[in-house]
Amino acid sequence: MIVRFFGQLNNAVTRHLRKMEMIGVLMRIVSFSLVSWMGPESPFLFVWSFNTVDAILLTWCAIIRKDTAYTVLNVFWIGVGVVGLARAMNPAMSP
């Protein structure tokens, strides 16, 4: 059942690949714009959650396109997002 769900989801992403990529790019712009505009007052947990979701979406699109460079870049951003989420959820980890 779960495999079927992800198969259908993958088919939908593949059918709407350009739209999905644009959504991911716009999500990234919004998340970094919030940090740029709001500085230390930024909702960091939201920003890192949003950034991690867009990195997952863009990684998925890059894998479908078989674009190794963008796959590596966006997997890196997933890692950055995970670290950002951990720091946002545990302020003691921040300097």
pLDDT digits (tens, 9 = 90+) for 5-64: 989 999 999 999 999 999 999 999 999 899 899 988 888 899 999 999 999 999 999 999
Q: What does the H/E/C string look like for 34-83?
A: HHHHHHHHCCHHHHHHHHHHHHHHHHHHHHHHCCHHHHHHHHHHHHHHHH
| Residue 91 or residue 31, greater confidence | 31
**Length of the chain in residues, anyone?**
95
Between CA 74 and CA 68 the distance in angstroms is 10
Token reading at 11: 């088919």
Please tell me the pTM assigned to this model. Answer: 0.86
